[in-house]
Amino acid sequence: MNATRTLRPDAPGIAEAARLLAEGQLVAFPTETVYGLGADATNDLAVAGIFAAKGRPRFNPLIAHVSSLEMAEEIARFDARALALAREFWPGPLTLVLPTVGRVSPLVTADLPTVALRFPAHPTARALIAALGRPVAAPSANPSGKVSPTRAAHVLAGLSGRIAAVIDDGACAVGVESTILGVFEEITLLRPGGLAVEAIEALVGPLARPKKTTLPNAPGQLESHYAPEAPITLNATTPGAVHIGFGPETRPDMPPGEVTLNLSPRADLTEAAANLFHFLREADRLAQGRPITVAPIPDQGLGRAINDRLARAAAPRP
Ligand code: TXA
Ligand code: MG
């Protein structure tokens, strides 16, 4: 593989990225949640390349990204509930798991009878998918198990030389991955994420929680993921070498030479989500293997997604 190219989010850059995808190559691109590692979702070889580039140990199913509801309806069956969710929240940070009609590579669905679909709001992502004219399979553009990328520099730090190009369009506004709903007998929250559960429940009522049996490939709740190199302690009251704070807290006890990063000095969960993955990377760089601590984060709104990702970052490593 040649050196990874950095493309601009302008018309020529997007056209070049679409050409690379059509050729079966891998291109990382911005979405409003995190940067995705894209491949033509209908090309088996290209999709297989995603797993190789990320070093994913097994073929987890991937999200197929679309640029319109019409494109989504060619890939999956939408019932009235799925249509209502799509009409209310698409484009945006919501992924729907629906019965597949088999138009995407079986590597995208891991041979499940369902497919995960997302219509991202980010204009560059939408333009890229529309230019390809086919769904784009994309996990987060990071090596397997590592922190998801919210900037092009994060993508290059993990995947440079392993992918054809990255479209650099600055920092992601939401900063945590999409909320995933399974539209099964019951509408089931498979992953908390960038769309608050409260907003979804206002439309469709209380969400079910996953049953183990319906979730062969769901993101494991205790799986180590988003993992920095340094050990992490959550809900910390005593700061470690590097402390990730939240809200207008002070650390009068902080010894000299230690660092505090504050996810949101004004205690705004949306701002905290946007900063989360960048700060995990920063903390890891500054800690050099020494302990990282994180302040308690309120478990509401985007705080649920933040706490989910922090729990995985702190989970026992394989
Ligand atoms: O915000 C996002 O969702 C980002 C951006 C790039 O769109 N993508 C992302 O993809 O987070 P990834 O691969 O890191 O996470 C996709 C999750 C996986 O945990 C997978 O288990 C789940 O979606 N998934 C995919 N298809 C599924 C299916 N048919 N049934 C259940 N879970 C599925
Ligand atoms: Mg990921």
Of residues 249 and 142, more confidently modeled: 142
∠ CA 189-89-96, nearest 5°, is 40
The side-by-side arrangement of strands in the sheet containing 242-245 is 232-233, 292-294, 242-245, 259-262
The set of residues, in sequence order, having a beta carbon less than 8 Å from that of 254 and lying 6+ positions away, is 239, 243, 260
> Closest by alpha carbon to 243, among 307, 287, 292, 309?
292
Of residues 228 and 125, more confidently modeled: 125
ipTM associated with this complex: 0.98
CA distance 146 to 16: 28
pLDDT number for residue 219: 45
Above pLDDT 90, what percent of the chain? 81
pLDDT number for residue 218: 47
Query: Which ligand lies nearest the alpha carbon of 75?
Result: 1
Q: Which atom of ligand 1 is nearest to the CA of 65?
A: 7
Is the separation of the CB atoms in 78 and 72 below 8 Å? yes
pLDDT number for residue 35: 98
> Closest by alpha carbon to 32, among 150, 127, 139?
150
Q: Which residues are annotated as a binding site for ATP?
A: 56, 60, 114, 118, 140, 148, 191, 226
Query: What CATH number was assigned to the domain covering residues 232-314?
Result: 3.40.50.11030
Each domain of the chain, given as residue ranges in start order, spans 5-214, 232-314
Q: Which residues are annotated as a binding site for L-threonine?
A: 33, 65, 138, 178
**Which amino acid belongs to residue 51?**
F
In Å, how far are 13, 79, 90, 170, 316 from 141, measured between CA atoms? 18, 31, 22, 14, 23
CA distance 309 to 279: 13
Above pLDDT 70, what percent of the chain? 92
**Among all chains, which residue has been given the structure tokens 């302040």?**
295
For every residue of 211-231, DSSP letters joined together read: PGGG-TTSPPTT---S--SS-
Q: Which atom of ligand 1 is nearest to the CA of 180?
A: 23
CA distance 124 to 134: 15
Query: What is the tens place of the pLDDT at every residue in 141-170?
Result: 999 989 999 999 999 999 999 999 999 999
Atom 12 of ligand 1, residue of closest alpha carbon: 139
- Ligand 1 centroid to Cα of residue 18, in Å, is 22
Query: Which ligand lies nearest the alpha carbon of 110?
Result: 1
Would you tell me the crossing angle of helices 269-287 and 303-314 to the nearest 10 degrees? 20
Q: Which atom of ligand 1 is nearest to the CA of 36?
A: 6
Query: What is the tens place of the pLDDT at every residue in 190-201?
Result: 999 999 999 999
Q: Is the pLDDT of residue 42 over 60?
A: yes
Of residues 125 and 253, more confidently modeled: 125
Q: Which helix (H) or strand (E) holds 180?
A: strand 179-183
Q: How, if at all, do strands 94-99 and 179-183 pair? A: parallel
Is the separation of the CB atoms in 117 and 64 below 8 Å? yes
Query: Which ligand lies nearest the alpha carbon of 147?
Result: 2
Q: What is the band of 58 on the pLDDT scale with cuts at 50, 70, 90?
A: confident
How many CB atoms lie under 10 A from the CB of residue 186? 14
Q: What's the CA dihedral at 129, 178, 41, 220 to 10 degrees?
A: 170
What is the average pLDDT score of the chain? 92
The answer to whether the 5-214 and 232-314 domains have the same CATH topology is no
Query: What is the tens place of the pLDDT at every residue in 21-35?
Result: 999 999 999 999 999
91 upstream amide cis, omega within 30 of 0: yes
CATH 1.10.3720.10 correct for 5-214: no
pLDDT number for residue 93: 98
Of residues 111 and 300, more confidently modeled: 300
Q: Is the pLDDT of residue 313 over 80?
A: yes
Q: Is the pLDDT of residue 252 over 80?
A: no
Q: Which residues are annotated as a binding site?
A: 33, 56, 60, 65, 114, 118, 138, 140, 148, 178, 191, 226
Q: What is the band of 136 on the pLDDT scale with cuts at 50, 70, 90?
A: very high
Q: What is the band of 111 on the pLDDT scale with cuts at 50, 70, 90?
A: confident
- Alpha helix ranges (H) inside 160-268: 197-204
Q: What is the mean pLDDT of residues 268-279?
A: 96
Tokens of 112: 């499940």
